[in-house]
Amino acid sequence: MARVLLFGRLADVAGWRERTIEAASLSALRTALATADPGLGEALAGPSVQAAVDKALVRGDAALTPASEVAFLPPMSGG
């Protein structure tokens, strides 16, 4: 299980902002999200979308625990 947060246009694409999803790794989570919603899967696969696990940016894969918080971050706009 992981707490999944979507920001910016990703939340518009998915139609939700926060969900709890069963996944043991970031790559498994991406697969689960893309299977449930191919449109979201495509949006998450974009090169400009970054992932953060427990508020730290992650490149590549990462293991998730039930307490993990995963955030998908589209390009940041600045304030």
Binding site for another protein (CB under 8 A): 5, 7-9, 12, 52, 55, 71, 73-79
Closer CB to another protein, 1 or 76, in the complex: 76
Min. distance of Cβ 15 from another protein in angstroms? 15
69 sits in which H/E element: strand 69-73
Q: Which is nearer to another protein, 20 or 35 (CB)?
A: 20
Q: CA–CA separation, 15 vs 63, rounded Å?
A: 26
CB of 12 to another protein, least distance (A): 8
Cα separation of the two ends of the chain = 32
